[in-house]
Amino acid sequence: MFCIIISDCRDDNAFGRQATRIAALFGLDVNVITTIGVSTELEAAGNLVDVLDAAGGASGIVLVNVAPRVEGEITGYPNGAPFGCFSLGETMVISTGAGYTLSLAKKLGMVKNVDVFDIPTVMQWAVAQGLITNKNVADDIVHSQFRSFEFVPRLAWWIHTHKNPPAQLMNISGQIEKLPFAV
pLDDT tens-place string over residues 135-181: 999 999 999 888 888 999 999 999 999 999 999 998 777 778 788 77
Q: State residue 25's pLDDT score.
A: 92
Residue by residue, DSSP assigns 121-142 as HHHHHHHHTTSS--HHHHHHHH
Q: Is 89 left (phi over 0), alpha (psi -120 to 50) or beta?
A: left
CA distance 159 to 133: 18
Q: Which residues of the chain have pLDDT under 50?
A: 72-73
Q: Is residue 64 part of a domain?
A: yes
Reduced to 3 states (helix: H, G, I; strand: E, B; else coil), residue 171 is: coil
Q: Is residue 136 part of a domain?
A: no
Q: Which residue, 27, 94, 25, 90, is CA-closest to 59?
A: 90
Q: CATH number of the domain at 79, please.
A: 3.40.50.10790
Q: How far apart are CA 21 and CA 154, in angstroms?
A: 9
Position 166 in a domain = yes
Axis-axis angle for helices 135-143, 119-128 (nearest 10): 170
- pLDDT, residue 142, reads 92
Residue 34 located in a structural domain: yes
Residue 169 lies in a domain: yes
Q: Does residue 39 lie within any of the structural domains?
A: yes
Tally Cβ neighbours within 10 Å of residue 16. 13
Q: Distance between CA 99 and CA 176 in Å, rounded?
A: 7
* pTM score, whole prediction: 0.89
- Does residue 140 belong to any structural domain of this protein? no
Give the DSSP letter of residue 155.
H
Q: How crowded is the C-beta side of 61, counted as CA atoms within 13 Å?
A: 26
CA separation for the pair 17, 15 (Å, rounded)? 5
- How many domains is the chain built from? 1
Range of the domain at 54: 2-118+146-175
Element housing 116 (H / E): strand 114-117
Establish if 183 belongs to a structural domain.
no
Cβ atoms 85, 115 nearer than 8 A: yes
